[in-house]
């Protein structure tokens, strides 16, 4: 693991000119200074982390809303076949991936607290729209448009991660980013559990109850951010960071690896219920039967994500990511074998393994991002560069890459859903998709070794 470069404890970065005063703006923020961190920084960072997790959690739930709603759309009533339902879950995944880049920019432009208020309030649009249109007789086109709106919930992750990355010292980023992302990822299984509860009690005719639960939570997230979060001036004035990051080769390498981890998590989370209903139709003849299992994998994958960050803090992100992709390839092989022999228990075990290892990989890959730029900063200092400038550059580039990787990785969820849709359309099963997943994870293993673990690699051991 690369050790952080340090600025002298007495050095306070000058606030950029023209920044607003008051309004919960913090101009002096030195998380790498041990005295500052213990006396002030830790308390403030934890408060912001807590409300960031809550807002991101609700955002993930809204983003995953249609993985639940499709269970309330029986084909005899709404006339939507399985391929049509896969499209309803693909569109919000795609929009969520698309908005992650502007959401990352928004933190630097408006401040983490300010943008959390806005991004939380925007969640009211898809929740209210869904509540209005969701009834028998609604056109499929209307459902496509409304389902796409839920994608705004996917953007919350990028802005939240970029914001929290600036609050924590390098030695704690793996833990903090893992906890932030894991708490957000929990929004996927939680809304699926809410959907299960509604199906079990009120029945398939009452999907609006799910929305009645979430609309007040959206309001709480926005108000909580307004009252208790802060903006950091050190995260501002970075308009060229994203453009500079696009010219950095590690940006695209890490984005590719994140497709394999987060893309798998969100793609499987959206598709698992439909896969069960199509692959084992006799066992999951009703939406309630499918909903009884869909939440398990996303829950375990979310809970274990902070462990991935902690393991990366201890052993190195690249090492954990490498072995994690090996395990994901084995998990996909288990799913393929189970599909071939028609074993539901083995099929569920394989998918649970995929969720668990995708969660661990989410944490370890995100830890690699600041470690890569911290290593570059060390190399610049060793070559005679200014330590403070190197640290500022590492922070800027880490935040930019987090946004880009989050966006590209989320498109992996789109690819997962499209792979399942095409596989079921052409072969009647998911077998072709499982083989594609195995091949992709094998490529990720090779890339991780070649770039980040090979002894002669420039970034070996990040």
Q: Are 49 and 176 in contact (CB under 8 A)?
A: yes
Is 131 inside any structural domain? yes
310 and 427, same structural domain? yes
Q: Is the domain of 176 the same as that of 244?
A: no
What gap in Å lies between CA 204 and CA 287, rounded to an integer? 8
Does 216 share its domain with 319?
no
Residue 378, in any domain of the structure: yes
Any domain includes 256: yes
Residue-level pLDDT at 236: 59
Residue 18 within any structural domain of the chain: no
Is there a domain that residue 4 lies in? Answer: no
Q: Final residue of a domain: which of 219, 236, 253? A: 236
- Predicted local distance difference test score (pLDDT) of residue 22: 47
Does 301 share its domain with 263?
yes
**Same domain, residue pair 244 and 193:** no
Dihedral sign (CA 302, 307, 311, 312) = positive
Q: Is residue 296 part of a domain?
A: yes
127 and 263 co-located in one domain: no
229: left (phi over 0), alpha (psi -120 to 50) or beta: beta
Instruction: Report d(CA 339, CA 434) in Å as an integer.
Output: 9
SS3 content of the chain, % helix, strand, coil (to 5): 80, 0, 20
Which of 236, 260, 292 lies at the terminal end of a domain, its last residue?
Answer: 236
- The mean pLDDT values, 10 residues at a time, for the chain of 462 residues are 37 39 77 91 94 94 92 89 87 90 84 94 96 93 96 90 86 81 87 91 91 95 94 70 85 94 90 86 80 86 84 90 97 96 94 94 87 86 84 80 83 90 87 96 96 86 78
Classify residue 80 by its DSSP letter: -
In angstroms, the CA 65 to CA 192 distance is 8
What's the number of domains the chain is made of? Answer: 2
* Residues 285 and 433 grouped into a single domain: yes
Q: What's the pLDDT score for residue 357? A: 96
Indicate if 242 and 173 belong to the same structural domain. Answer: no
Can you give the residue range of the structural domain that contains 437? 238-461
Q: Which of 361, 362, 333 is nearest to 349 (CA)?
A: 333
Asked if residue 34 belongs to a domain, the reply is no
What local confidence, expressed as pLDDT, does residue 326 receive?
98
261 and 158 assigned to the same domain = no
Specify if 25 maps to a domain.
no
Among residues 127, 305, 134, 151, the alpha carbon closest in space to that of 222 is found at 127
Residues 203 and 326 in one domain: no
Which residues have a Cβ under 8 Å from the Cβ of 86 and sit 6 or more positions away? 271, 274, 417, 418, 420, 421, 424
310, 369: one domain: yes
Residues 196 and 282 in one domain: no
194, 213 Cβ separation under 8 angstroms: yes
Q: Quick one: which H or E segment has residue 393?
A: helix 387-427
Q: For residue 26, report the phi and psi dihedrals to the nearest 5 degrees.
A: -110, 120
CATH number at residue 160: 1.20.1250.20
Q: Comparing C-alpha atoms, which of 258, 233, 230, 226 is closest to residue 403?
A: 258
Last residue of a domain, one of 236, 253, 287: 236
């Amino acid at each position: 693991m690369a050790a952080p470069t340090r600025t002298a404890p007495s050095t306070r970065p000058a606030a950029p000119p023209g920044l607003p005063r008051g309004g919960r703006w913090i101009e002096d923020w030195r998380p790498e200074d041990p005295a500052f961190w213990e006396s002030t920084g830790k308390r403030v960072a934890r408060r912001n982390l807590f409300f960031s997790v809550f807002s991101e959690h609700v955002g993930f739930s809204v983003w995953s809303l249609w993985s639940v709603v499709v269970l309330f759309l029986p084909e005899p009533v709404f006339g939507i076949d399985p391929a049509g339902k896969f499209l309803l879950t693909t569109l919000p995944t795609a929009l969520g991936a698309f908005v992650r880049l502007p959401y990352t920019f928004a933190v630097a432009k408006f401040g983490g607290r300010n943008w959390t208020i806005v991004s939380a309030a925007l969640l009211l649009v898809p929740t209210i729209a869904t509540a209005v249109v969701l009834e028998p007789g609604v056109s499929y086109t209307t459902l496509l448009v409304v389902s796409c709106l839920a994608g705004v919930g996917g953007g919350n992750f990028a802005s939240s991660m970029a914001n929290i990355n600036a609050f924590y010292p390098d030695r704690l980023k793996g833990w903090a980013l893992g906890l932030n992302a894991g708490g957000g990822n929990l929004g996927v299984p939680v809304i699926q559990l809410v959907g299960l509860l509604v199906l079990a009690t009120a029945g398939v005719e009452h999907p609006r109850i799910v929305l009645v639960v979430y609309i007040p939570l959206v309001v709480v997230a926005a108000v909580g951010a307004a009252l208790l979060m802060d903006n950091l001036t050190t995260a501002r004035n970075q308009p060229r960071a994203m453009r500079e990051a696009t010219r950095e080769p590690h940006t695209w390498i890490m984005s590719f690896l994140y497709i394999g981890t987060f893309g798998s998590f969100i793609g499987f989370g959206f598709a698992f219920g439909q896969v069960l209903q199509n692959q084992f139709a006799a066992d999951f003849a009703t939406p309630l039967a499918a909903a009884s299992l869909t939440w398990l994998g996303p829950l375990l994958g979310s809970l274990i994500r902070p462990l991935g960050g902690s393991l990366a803090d201890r052993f190195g992100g690249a090492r954990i990511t490498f072995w994690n992709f090996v395990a994901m390839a084995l998990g996909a092989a288990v799913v393929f074998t189970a599909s071939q022999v028609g074993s539901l228990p083995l099929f569920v075990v394989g998918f649970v393994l995929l969720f668990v290892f995708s969660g661990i990989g989410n944490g370890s890959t995100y830890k690699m991002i600041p470690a890569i730029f911290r290593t570059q900063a060390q190399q610049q200092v060793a070559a005679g560069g200014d330590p403070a400038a190197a640290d500022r550059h590492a922070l800027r580039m880490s935040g930019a890459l987090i946004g880009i990787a989050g966006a590209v990785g989320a498109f992996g969820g789109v690819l997962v859903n499209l792979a399942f849709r095409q596989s079921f359309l052409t072969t009647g099963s998911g077998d072709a998709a499982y083989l594609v997943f195995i091949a992709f994870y094998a490529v990720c293993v090779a890339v991780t070794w070649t770039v980040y673990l090979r002894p002669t690699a420039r970034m070996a051991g990040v």
